[in-house]
Amino acid sequence: MGGGTEYRVYRVGEDEPVRRVDAAGRHEQAVPGAAVRRVERRKGSRGSRVRRWLLVLVVLAVVATAGVLVWLYGREMPANFAAAYDLAQSSGRVPEWALVGLPAAALTILAVVSAYLAFGRSLFIKSFGLLVVITTLVAPGLALGWVNGTVSTVGDRSTEVKATVEKVRRELRPALPSKPVNILLIGTDKREEIGDHGRSDTQILLRLDPETKSISMLSVPRDLRIEIPGVGFDKMNVAYTYGGAAGAVRAFSTLTGLPINHYVETDFGGFARVVNILGGVYVPVDRRYYNPPESSWKSINQLPGYQLLDGQHALDLARFRHDQQGDFNRMRRQQLILTEMQRQSGRWSGDWRKVVRLIKAITAQTTSDIDSLGRIKPLAELVFQVNTSKVNTVHMEGATPMIDGISYVVPSQADIDRAVAEFTQPRRAPEAVNSKTKGPAVTKSMYPVRVYNGSGIDGLATSAATQLSELGYVAEVGPDVPEFPETVTTIYAPEDLSVQAEVLATLFSPSVVKVVTRTPGVVDGISVFIASSFTGSLAVTPPEEPAQTLQKAADYAVSEWKTLAGKTPLPLMRPTVWCSGSTYEEFYRYRINTTAGRRVNAAVAVAKTAKGGYWGIQAIRWLNPPAIANPSGSKTVNGRRYLLFYQGSRLHMVAWRKKGTLYWVVNTLDNELSNDVIMGIATSFKRVK
């Protein structure tokens, strides 16, 4: 071996030499970079251990979060997640791409961060990346768990409440897909007295109909006389006293023959708190309500006009019953407040903090079978589908005899059938579309009316057709249809004859109208299927009463209008025609807070009909209050556009704008003024000078 020979020294398991030594062993030379590489390999070994521990921590965090969520919220959580997403998307606040886009973005973040955890060098960045991974994985689960835990406690707060809900569920009927849903709203009056089980002060059946995209409300008097099993005859509100919410549901369903799908029960305090959480409710108060504090009745001092009511004032107005029509007007006021609350839902539905407060209030103040996101979802989807301009209010009436010294409301079967028919098949607004001109009138002689007997009573179809012919209709008798399943006369008509069908419905009252699509092979015209509700005689409409006629009244109460105009900066307008039998009751000017926090001028004139109903004329320096949201339609007369608001087929309010001021004429609570009268008054206004 020559003198130039050298030896290379290697470390076990390494490919690079650590030093070189010549053959004589005299000179030893370290290999450059070897120590550095050894340090890097040791660091790499430590880095591998750190990466492994980081990944272990991520896995443990995910597993622990999943375990906690399942332990807290059970197996319903995935279903509730889907329900929550569907609800958010139905509201229009979540775009369709969110279900794919958001998870894709989250996976991209996780992939980038995980890659850096595997190959990156900065320990600080790795620690921050680990925090991002844990947040991305854990936060949605925690948020979902919080929402699920908040909502799922509605009506499910204690063992006693659970038992109550389960008892009521045995009286409920499951809602069918794509079919109307009936929800019974029960307002209870429970006094803090030993042995007082309370009573149902209010019962309103709410119907959400996906086919007609409408909302209907049916109220029954609390003094209505019914037979309670095991008790005997008593008032409707006593059914709750003996049977709780289950008894109230059973009584309402037995009376109307309608299935109840869900129920919500609350007391007076719960109603007031919900109104306060919503920020109050704007209500057109039809007149002044006053009971002094020393009165034996509940005291109230509510001034007239469109105004924002807090929870207590809304409750006082809803409970008031000491006027000419007592409980009947009370039901109408309750429906009015619920309608306005629904109309104003846009004021708070976009504020999630208010929504959460509302959910918690409902949880604390109500009992209901709607106690999870899964049960709320189909109802909320229905709410998003319905047209808020189609709100139909119905109340059941009857005779008011004294029986054994007790005042009752006793409806006939015809009264019950009529109310149920109007509730399940709401009448269409005759001018529910924008219009400037009218087409040619469709007369009775231009379409046939075929009458079919489905009542099982001989001769009813022939009798009805004969009476229709005497009224000018082209009436024909069709074959008997003994298999006809309905108990209320049903009128089928195409879309272009729907208004004429509504007129026929008044003759066969109680009856319902169903608009059908015209198909090949189907005879044109209107078909009437008579049921057992038909008495044999048409309900021919009597002539208009004198109180329903319009008279020229250019100078009527002009001095009172001028006095009011001198007290307000509003450019007041007044009608130049008048409904005979009505008189002005009060003129009142005031100020109102808008939803934007402004305080604006307003004025109202209250008029009273010969029957004791109140209607009003409103002026307000606020062009878009909740009152005119979602009109049924509009009509242009003499160049001015009028917004029309119907309740079923009755015109309830007409509104218009002029020079920065909003004006409207509003009908009585029971729409006593005819459509022509209220429209005639609205189109006659001129400036007060």
Burial 577-601 (b: 16+ CB within 10 A, else e): bbbebbeeebbbbeebebeeeeebb
Query: What does DSSP say about strands 232-235 and 489-493: parallel, antiparallel, or unpaired?
Result: unpaired
Conformational region of residue 167, where left means phi above 0, alpha means psi within -120 to 50, and beta covers everything else: alpha
Residue 239 is classified by DSSP as H
Q: What are the residues whose beta carbons fall under 8 Å from the beta carbon of 392, sequence distance 6 or more?
A: 214, 215, 216, 217, 422, 423, 426, 427, 647, 648
Cα four-point dihedral sign 162, 167, 168, 170: positive
Q: What is the mean pLDDT of the chain?
A: 76
Lowest-confidence pick of 441-445, 450-454, 649-653:
441-445
> Is residue 562 within 8 Å of 671, Cβ to Cβ?
no
Q: Return the amino acid letter for 144.
A: L
**Dist CA 202 CA 395 (whole Å):** 12
**Dist CA 185 CA 344 (whole Å):** 19
Provide DSSP, 74-89: TTHHHHHHHHHHHHHH
Q: Mind listing the pLDDT tens digit for each residue in 269-307?
A: 778 887 887 788 999 999 999 888 877 677 888 999 999
Lowest-confidence pick of 234-238, 521-525, 627-631:
521-525
pLDDT band with cut points at 50, 70 and 90 for residue 391? confident
End-to-end Cα, the chain, rounded Å: 130
| Residue 93: pLDDT over 80 | no
Give the pLDDT of residue 599. Answer: 95
Please list the residues that pair with 599 across neighbouring strands.
593
Conformational region of residue 638, where left means phi above 0, alpha means psi within -120 to 50, and beta covers everything else: left
Residue ranges of the alpha helices (H) in 304-351? Answer: 311-319, 326-343
Instruction: Outline where DSSP puts E strands in 131-285.
Output: 181-189, 199-209, 214-219, 225-228, 232-235, 262-267, 281-285
**Dist CA 212 CA 424 (whole Å):** 10
Q: Mind listing the pLDDT tens digit for each residue in 17-59?
A: 656 666 555 555 555 555 555 555 555 555 566 556 656 666 6
Query: What is the length of the chain?
Result: 689
Q: Mind listing the pLDDT tens digit for each residue in 168-209?
A: 889 999 888 778 889 898 888 765 554 555 667 788 898 888
Give the pLDDT of residue 216. Answer: 86
Q: Mind listing the pLDDT tens digit for each residue in 69-79?
A: 555 555 555 55
Conformational region of residue 86, where left means phi above 0, alpha means psi within -120 to 50, and beta covers everything else: alpha
The average pLDDT across 421-425 equals 83
What SS3 state is found at 339?
Answer: helix
The average pLDDT across 500-529 equals 76
Alpha-carbon distance values, 540 to 142, 397, 543, 628 (Å): 65, 21, 9, 35
Burial 442-455 (b: 16+ CB within 10 A, else e): eeeeebebbbbbbb
Q: Mind listing the pLDDT tens digit for each residue in 164-178?
A: 888 888 999 988 877
Query: In which residue are the tokens 């569920």 written?
Result: 169
Give the pLDDT of residue 571. Answer: 95
| Residue 627: pLDDT over 70 | yes
Lowest-confidence pick of 100-109, 259-268, 313-322, 568-577:
100-109
Alpha-carbon distance values, 232 to 45, 186, 227, 446 (Å): 88, 22, 5, 54
Packing angle, helices 34-73 and 123-151, rounded to 10: 0
Q: What are the residues whose beta carbons fall under 8 Å from the beta carbon of 466, sequence distance 6 or more?
A: 475
Residue 508 is classified by DSSP as S
